[in-house]
Amino acid sequence: MIESIALSIKQKALELGYEKCGIIPIPMLDGYQEKLEERVKNVPDSGVFYKGQQRLAHVQEEFPWAKSVIILTVPYSKYHVPENVSGHIGKSYLFDVRIDENTTEYQQSRQLELYLQSLGLKVEINRKFGVVGMRWAALQAGLGIIRRNNFFYTESGSWVHLEAFLIDMELELKSNTTLPPCPKNCDRCIKACPTASLCNAYTMNPLRCISFLTTFGGRNLPQEPMAENFGEWIYGCDVCQDVCPMNHKKWAAQEAFPGLTELAPSLTAEALLNMGEDFYRDKVQPKFFYLTADELWKWKVNALNYIKNHYQEQYRQLVLDALESPYPKVREMAESICVLYSIDKN
């Protein structure tokens, strides 16, 4: 009976369009706390960052009724990356299906939630930030492997979102992955990391990561020495995934992501610097929710940092205009560009 419920859930998930589905009892998540401690031990600076993850290591304190976690993979490599944002905005953010109701992936998630409820199960999901350590749960369920760049890989490469539901029934349904490990001497991801955030296999300092510093971290980029290593990234970074041979030919790019073709021209450095608050709040912030409705200034600083790293004469007026910005950090970043490139302000 229990076994057939687990199989029915998996079958439903696959029918809805998920790539993989596993179910594990909550005690199987136990090793997550140890992993967090190991990370902090290896990179003591990261303690502040992982403090925020502690809630994921103590699921039962918040949800004492939970018995199992259903963990699912959702590939996003079928989507086309518009030229004007390619290499500037991280793909997981461009194709973030977690809360975008216009996507089939969001709808499949809602349908699965309703299906679980129709089975009489109590269900909990946190679509934005997760209810468990996602990669750890997916690993325990045998859905794939974690590679040296810390990303979770399935047969679709690392281009997969993970999604988890807590349920109040003890079930178990695991898979066996046949994915090969990282090649013995491969360290491409570590060598390619622009800020040395990924400093060793399975070891990173999240506080140095461009994805952190251009989104929910990095509130003082004008004074951040690593900002000159951000290259062309404005929001997020895919370098350690893009260089990985295990991602070779994994990006299919057949479909347009809902609304992205229309939005992409507004996400260039130039467009961001000219963007008004209303447009930002309506069109940009709901999609890129790691920055709040009051943080358009942060996007503008990120855009100026891109310009600082790739200054050309065509940006001169944008930089001069930014000197008059109402946002202090934007003015400070513009000032630093003027100093670096000896731009005449008169």
Binding site for ligand SF4 (CB under 6 A): 147-149, 182-183, 186-189, 193-195, 197-198, 204, 209-211, 237, 239-240, 243-246
**Least distance CB 239 / ligand SF4 (angstroms):** 4
The least CB distance from residue 290 to ligand SF4, in Å, is: 14
In terms of CB distance, is 245 or 328 closer to ligand SF4? 245
Strand partners of residue 123 = 167
Q: Give the separation between CA 208 and CA 170, rounded to whole angstroms.
A: 40
- CB of 240 or CB of 303, closer to ligand SF4: 240
**Measuring CA to CA, which residue among 206, 213, 216, 226 is closest to residue 47?**
206
Residue 50 or 115 having the CB closest to ligand SF4: 50
Note whether 289 and 262 are within 8 A (CB). Answer: no
Nearer to ligand SF4, 93 or 297 (CB): 93
- Asked if residues 68 and 149 have their Cβ atoms less than 8 Å apart, the reply is no
Nearer to ligand SF4, 32 or 235 (CB): 235
Distance in Å, CB of 130 to ligand SF4, minimum = 18
Residue among 126, 174, 133, 163 nearest 150 (CA): 133
Q: Taking a C-beta distance cutoff of 8 angstroms, is the pair 222, 336 a contact?
A: yes
Residue-by-residue DSSP string for 245-261: GGGTT-----BPPTTHH
| CB nearer ligand SF4, residue 10 or residue 147 | 147
Q: How far is the CB of 58 from ligand SF4 (least distance, A)?
A: 26
Pull the structure tokens for residue 212.
Answer: 């952190």
User: CB 277 → ligand SF4: shortest distance, Å?
Assistant: 29
Considering only CA atoms, which of 25, 143, 149, 20 is closest in space to residue 74?
20
Output 250 or 331, the one with its CB closest to ligand SF4: 250
Question: Measured between alpha carbons, how far is 132 from 26 in angstroms, rounded to an integer?
Answer: 10
| Shortest distance, position 192 Cβ to ligand SF4, whole Å | 6
Q: How far apart are CA 221 and CA 154, in angstroms?
A: 35
C-beta of 197: minimal distance to ligand SF4 in Å? 4
For the record, the structure tokens of 184 come out as: 């013995």
Query: If you write DSSP's letter for every residue of 68-83 in order, what string do you get?
Result: EEEEEEEE-TTB---G
